[in-house]
Amino acid sequence: MHVYCTVFVLQTVSWFAEAAESDIVGGKVAKPHSKPYMASLQIQGAHWCGGILIREDFVLTAAHCKIDHQPMTVVLGAHDITKKEKSQQHIQVAQFHPHPNFVGEYSYDIMLLKLKHTAKLNRYVKVIELPKKNGKIPANIRCTVAGWGQTAKQSSTSPVLKETTEKIQFSFECKFIWKQYFRSDHMTCTRPDKWGGVCQGDSGGPLICNTKPEGITAFTEKDNCSNPKNPHVFIRIHPFLPWIKEVMKGNVVA
């Protein structure tokens, strides 16, 4: 089995095109602006990763979404990212804060983005509250994932936000499949109910369980992300709350 991060191997231009080829596979179009915390992270005007707004000036995403020497723009309040919707706010990233233990592979794949100016909160752009309790989500609970990008079976883009549900798996199941790549201390995994779910291009987007963001989309199987036999992996947010708070206090240098 080949492990493939949803947006990984960041140095090659050819890979950039591949990374934008899929979205929430087999899902449905989300109700416009029903997820006002969602962020589209864009490079050179193209959607690259997802993220969530956790403070007016900070977005939480996956660490592997950062590309060296490439400026990034965060688009908030969007439904159709190919249109200039009046609800949209485009804000450049001022600082990248990947977790200090992230070394370009799978563990500690979480990052904070400091925005150049604060977002204007309104009906289209809202902050989502992070989980306060370390309550591990029980297996078989259904959670929601969302993202933008191209579809897996079509060459045309899916410009609007899509969503679907996935079921939390037991940690031992995740470990059995992913071996050394899975760390139960800060990861969880899911399976789609049937076919589909997160895929390339959805990195950094949230895993929402009981209205709370419990995880950040990390990796899935290369070339076969919709295979229900192989669970999708998410970085759990709660173990990183102390680090997140320190970064947002300004105590961590970018």
d(CA 70, CA 31): 32
Q: What is the mean pLDDT of residues 199-209?
A: 87
**pLDDT over threshold 90, residue 224:** no
Contact 23, 148 (CB under 8 A): yes
Q: What is the mean pLDDT of residues 235-249?
A: 95
Q: Is the Cα torsion angle 8, 9, 13, 15 positive or negative in sign?
A: negative
* Half-sphere CA count of 172, side-chain side, radius 13 A: 0
- Return the H-helix or E-strand segment holding 19: helix 13-19
**Given this model, what pLDDT does residue 152 score?**
55
Indicate whether 18 belongs to any domain.
no
d(CA 53, CA 199): 21
Q: Which residues pair with 84 in a beta bridge?
A: none
**Given this model, what pLDDT does residue 16 score?**
27
**Given this model, what pLDDT does residue 26 score?**
59
Number of domains in the chain: 1
Q: What is the mean pLDDT of residues 126-153?
A: 82
The pTM of the full predicted model, rounded to 2 decimals, is 0.88
- Return the H-helix or E-strand segment holding 143: strand 142-150
d(CA 213, CA 126): 14
Residues annotated as catalytic are 64, 109, 203
Indicate whether 178 belongs to any domain.
no
**pLDDT over threshold 50, residue 12:** no
| pLDDT tens-digit series, residues 92-133 | 999 999 999 998 889 999 999 999 999 999 999 999 999 887
**Given this model, what pLDDT does residue 253 score?**
73
Q: What is the mean pLDDT of residues 75-82?
A: 96
Residues present in the chain in total = 254
Contact 131, 244 (CB under 8 A): no
Indicate whether 228 belongs to any domain.
no
Indicate whether 113 belongs to any domain.
yes
d(CA 53, CA 229): 32
Indicate whether 120 belongs to any domain.
yes
Indicate whether 173 belongs to any domain.
no
Find the CATH number of the domain harbouring 100: 2.40.10.10
d(CA 23, CA 26): 9
pLDDT band at residue 25 under the 50/70/90 scheme: low
The overall average pLDDT reported for the chain is 84
Three-class SS of residue 198? coil
The CA-to-CA distance between both ends of the chain, in Å, stands at 35
d(CA 120, CA 57): 10
Listed residue (16, 187, 14, 218) closest to 111, CA to CA: 218
Indicate whether 41 belongs to any domain.
yes
pLDDT band at residue 225 under the 50/70/90 scheme: confident
Q: Phi first, then psi: give them for residue 189, nearest 5 degrees.
A: -140, 160
The domain containing residue 115 runs over which residues?
Answer: 36-127+240-249
Indicate whether 19 belongs to any domain.
no
| pLDDT tens-digit series, residues 150-161 | 555 544 456 899
d(CA 252, CA 178): 32
